[in-house]
Structure 1
Amino acid sequence: MELRQLEYFVAVAEEENFTRAAERVHISQSGVSAQIRQLEHDLGTSLFDRSGRSTRLTPAGVAALRHARSALAAVDAVRQAVDEVNGLIRGRLVVGMVTACTVTPLFDALSAFHHRHPGVEITLLEDTSDRLLERLRAGTADIALVSTSGSTPPGLEAYEIIREPLVAAMPVGHPLCEKPEVTLEDLARHSVVSLPTGAGVRRVFDDACTAAGVHMEIAFQAGAPSAIADLAIRGLGVAILSESLVAQHRPHLTTRRIADIHTEPVLSLAWSTTDNPALRQLIHHCHESFTRPTPIPEPIA
């Protein structure tokens, strides 16, 4: 029995699929299958039921999984203890960020961290804030740049980067431009374009509509804030965005304060634990990067 066989076994058990497990451990599917068959031969029993569409653990596999995870964790602990004594950091970090939200200080932090700790593999993924928060709580992501509705997400730690109000953005000449500020009832009389459900900005907007008892029809939605702005510029609806993002599209768009939205979306770095020394170092680099003066605040999506 070899450690790599246990690693492949855990990967297949968690992914419930040999192909996805092979992608996760960076070898061919045939290589994973061969090592699992050898492990089953050594143990004298089948660990997986391969008869269905997904790969399920047999009772023997269920019994073995906890011990396999413990064995791999013990090996990681030995490696981590030695590396810390030698001043080395290794491992893998999964970093999440809101879809299409280009945040230069985060990329600066990742670059500085990579040059300082080249032994750490970094995986960057994009998703909605809600799904990124789920990944953090499930342990499938280590740290994520997310948009939240004004408070630290339950069960997580967070470092606030920026908070700013939502605005209604429309092209010059739109009827709402005649008002010094707008209400949700005003917006309900017009087409609205917004980010999808799961985005922090959308959550703040939906919560405000619910609290005010206003039913809002969303004419268009898109995952990229720039796409929302482009739709509004072309007259397809009033965009609901953060102020800093609209600033990038002036003079094509003008903004009005939404009088009955009192919660501000917050762009934050969130994580669930700092037990990982690599994560502690990345948080340090992020803190340094985000506290440097920047000419324009990063947009909140």
Structure 2
Amino acid sequence: MDVAMRYFYEAASQGSMRLASEKLGVAVSSISRQIVQLEGYLGVNLIEKGRRSVKLTEAGRLTYDFHRTHIAELDALRSQIQDLRGVRKGSVRLAVGEGFLTSAFFQTIDTFHKKNPGLHIDTHVGSTSEIVRMVEEDEVHLGLVLQIEPEPKVRVRLSVAQPLMVLVHPSHPLTRKNQVSIVELSQHDLCLPPKSFRIRQILSQMEAMAGAHLEPAQTTTSIVMMRDLASEGRFATVLPQIAAFGEIASRRLIAIPFAETEPEPVSVHLITRLGRQLEGAPSKLLTVLEAKMRSWTH
């Protein structure tokens, strides 16, 4: 039943048998046949009938969670055995938001890999919602995101405060100020994320309290673009300091605090799935990232 369980798991994870067939490289009919065999073996329906997409029954959800836990336990066992053998092999799967793709992050990963040269490190860059889903489904060991709401299946291993800062080129007029108000910021060309981003939602609350409105000349979902446009000199942007550590350290950008107090302080969260025990390489990287994140507060 191992093959049947794997096909069922992929179909449930992908939400359709067609997508599962593309990932597994087998025919849809093969996946369907294996799932029917698994249902016969267990004596229950795992998928609701008559739907185009894969919708799990209550028994299907239990079976899915069982197999996911089984995969995680096998992964942990493999890591423990590798540690006992003293072999620095294995893999670490990490998902991060684009804002963490800075020189500080690259150096941390590179240093870790040099100390553990036999490891394979797989870094996925995605949105906060995608990263949370990947952590919940054990597609990655660790996630690094900019603040999430409490999730029942997610454990926040470490939370580090990262207040929003106004980022500008050293020649920008705002560098003459020790603090920048919302009203002052509204008088300059801005590049900001869309309103769906957490940063904009916090800024909207600050705008309401200040009785002013920020009208960006450019909006983008790319934090890299926000940093680069600000470093060219014309635009100001707003990001947590961690999103531009390298540029700030090299003085390509200047970080200026807001005059207003944020209604909800922003934090960076290092997350894992609740109940998942990390062993071996993932556990080592978790320790490294926790130490690095604590240094961001200094």
Q: CA RMSD in A?
A: 4.7
Q: Report the alpha carbon displacement of residue 7 of structure 1 after superposing the two structures with TM.
A: 1.8
Q: Does 1:222 align with 2:217?
A: no
Q: Distance in 2 between matches of 1:146 and 1:188?
A: 28
One-letter identity of the residue aligned with 1:181:
Q
**For 1:243-258, what aligned pairs fall within 5 Å after superposition?**
243=241, 245=244, 248=247, 253-258=253-258
Shift in Å at residue 257 of structure 1?
Answer: 3.1
Residues 1:265 and 2:266 aligned together: yes
Q: Which moved more, 1:244-253 or 1:208-217?
A: 244-253
| Per-residue deviation, 1:259 | 0.8
Q: 1:136–1:144: 8 Å Cα contact kept in structure 2?
A: yes
Describe the superposition over 1:245-264 as per-residue Cα deviations: whole angstroms up to 9, x where unpaired.
27627666555432114465
Q: Deviations over 1:38-92 (max 9, x none)?
A: 553684999778987x4345xxx73762464366368558857975885679998
Out of 30, 36, 40, the position equivalent to 1:40 is 36
- Unaligned runs of 5+ residues in structure 1 are none
SS in 2 for 1:34: helix
For residue 29 of structure 1, give the secondary structure of its aligned residue in structure 2: coil
Mapped to 1, the partners of 2:111 and 2:196 lie a distance apart of: 26
Is the 2:167–2:230 contact (alpha carbons within 8 Å) kept by the matching residues of 1?
no
Give the share of equivalent positions with the same residue, in percent: 15
2:64 counterpart residue number: 69
Distance 1:70 1:110 in 2: 32
Q: What are structure 2's unaligned runs of at least 5 residues?
A: none
**1:95 matched residue in structure 2:** 94
8 Å contact from structure 2 (residues 166, 180) kept in 1: no
Aligned: 1:13 with 2:12: yes
Distance 1:104 1:4 in 2: 38
**Cα displacement (A) at 1:271:** 2.2
TM-score, normalised with respect to structure 2: 0.68
Distance 1:83 1:254 in 2: 46
Tell me by how many angstroms 1:10 deviates. Answer: 2.9
Preserved CA contact (<8 Å) 2:135 2:143: yes
Q: 1:79 to 1:130 in 2, by over 3 A?
A: closer
Matched residue, 1:29: 26
Distance 1:78 1:228, change over 3 A: closer
Determine whether 1:212 maps to 2:190.
no
Query: Structure 1 residues 100 and 204 mapped into 2: Cα distance closer, same or farther (>3 Å)?
Result: same
1:104 to 93, 103, 106: 106
Distance in 2, Cα, partners of 1:13 & 1:130: 18
Question: Number of residue pairs matched?
Answer: 282
- After superposition, the Cα gap between the structure-2 partners of 1:129 and 1:77, relative to the gap in structure 1 and judged at 3 Å, is closer
1:277-301 CA deviation, whole Å, 9 max, x = no partner?
A: 34x852443323553699xx77xxx
Give the direction of change, closer, same or farther, for the CA distance of 1:72–1:171 in structure 2 (3 Å limit): closer
After superposition, where does 1:170-189 map in structure 2 within 5 Å?
170=169, 172=171, 174=173, 176-177=174-175, 179-189=177-187
Q: Distance in 2 between matches of 1:153 and 1:15?
A: 24
The letter for the 1-side match of 2:25 is S
Instruction: Give the alignment of 1:160-175 within 5 angstroms.
Output: 160=159, 163=162, 165-170=164-169, 172=171, 174=173
Amino acid at match of 2:185: L
Instruction: Give SS of 1:20's match.
Output: helix
Q: What letter corresponds to residue 185 of structure 1 in structure 2?
A: V
Q: Does 1:145 align with 2:144?
A: yes
Q: Does the 8 Å contact 1:170/1:253 carry over to 2?
A: yes
Q: Structure 2: how far apart are the matches of 1:281 and 1:270?
A: 16
> Within 1, Cα distance between the matches of 2:65 and 2:223?
43
Q: Following TM superposition, by how much is the alpha carbon of 1:6 offset from its aligned partner in structure 2, in angstroms?
A: 2.1
Distance 1:4 1:168 in 2: 53
Q: Distance in 2 between matches of 1:108 and 1:93?
A: 13
What letter is aligned with 1:104? Answer: F
**What is the identity, as a one-letter code, of the residue corresponding to 2:288?**
E
| Distance change in 2, residues 1:190/1:147 (3 Å) | same
Q: Does the residue aligned with 2:270 lie in a helix, a strand or coil?
A: strand
Q: Deviations over 1:111-155 (max 9, x none)?
A: 379757x6xx86532123355345545766542111238xx9565
Q: Give the letter aligned to residue 212 of structure 1.
A: A
Q: Is the 8 A contact 1:172 1:254 kept in 2?
A: no
Give the aligned partner of residue 195 of structure 1: 193
Q: Aligned AA for 1:257?
A: P
